[in-house]
Structure 1
Amino acid sequence: MKSQNIFTGIPQNLDQELFEFLAGNDKVVIEKIISKGQKSPESGWYDQEKNEWVIVLRGKAILSFEDETPIHLNEGDFINIPAHKKHKVSWTDPDNETIWLAVHY
């Protein structure tokens, strides 16, 4: 067994959002997501089969939900998104990395 650090391995160039599988099985998936100015496409929504619990470990972001007020997330803020709750990432900080920890269950 070996420990790891969630803040290591961040590439200098983040032209695209980075998704890194950390652990999981057929019921639960835990991943690290790193954003730097990326957001969801203007058209369309995420409509996931599983629930998603997500926390912003570093940075800032805005999540939008269909027919609801956008939610601003800062470091330490988390949210539980039920399966099939249509949502998208409207904004992430373009000047600093936003590091998310997501649990899909």
Structure 2
Amino acid sequence: MKNIFASIPDAFEEELFDDLLKSGNIRIERILSKGQSSPAQGWYDQSEHEWVVVLEGSGIIAFEDGREITLGRGDCINIPAHVRHRVKWTDPDRVTIWLAVFYD
């Protein structure tokens, strides 16, 4: 058994990624952020679809087409495969806990 809210450090320099489940064509990952963002020149261009929900905290996801979506506690979004996106901002004062489900 795991608890999504357990083992969260107070401070960390880079985002933390923890695979919670991998099976066939699905992967569930916990991501912890605290003021981190994607590299300015880096876009995620994934071969999988990604459904993501913010469990705590907040962040902004930017898309290559210029859209920006602010997500707070309980907000979720589905990002289709090969839609280029990046994390533009996460709350620097508290940990943002993301739950990401990657699937084909």
State TM-score, norm by structure 1: 0.94
- What are the equivalent positions in structure 2 for 1:86-105 lying under 5 Å apart? 86-105=84-103
Which one has a larger percent strand, Structure 1 or Structure 2?
2
Separation of aligned partners in 1, 2:61 and 2:85: 7
CA deviation profile, 1:50-103 (whole Å, cap 9, x unmatched): 000000000000000011320000000000000000000000000100000000
Does the 8 Å contact 2:11/2:34 carry over to 1? no
Structure 2, unmatched stretches of 5+, are none
Q: Secondary structure at the match of 1:47?
A: coil
Separation of aligned partners in 1, 2:34 and 2:83: 24
- Which residue number in structure 2 is paired with residue 43 of structure 1? 41
- State which of 72, 77, 80 in structure 2 corresponds to 1:79: 77
Separation of aligned partners in 1, 2:75 and 2:86: 17
Structure 1, unmatched stretches of 5+, are none
Q: Report deviation, 1:20.
A: 0.3
Q: Report deviation, 1:16.
A: 1.1
Q: How many residues align?
A: 103
Matched AA of 1:100: W
Separation of aligned partners in 2, 1:21 and 1:40: 19
Matched AA of 2:93: D
Separation of aligned partners in 2, 1:92 and 1:12: 15
Which runs of at least 4 in structure 1 moved beyond 6 Å after TM superposition?
Answer: none
The percentage of counterpart residues that share the same residue type is: 55
Residues 1:25 and 2:35 are matched in the alignment: no
State TM-score, norm by structure 2: 0.95
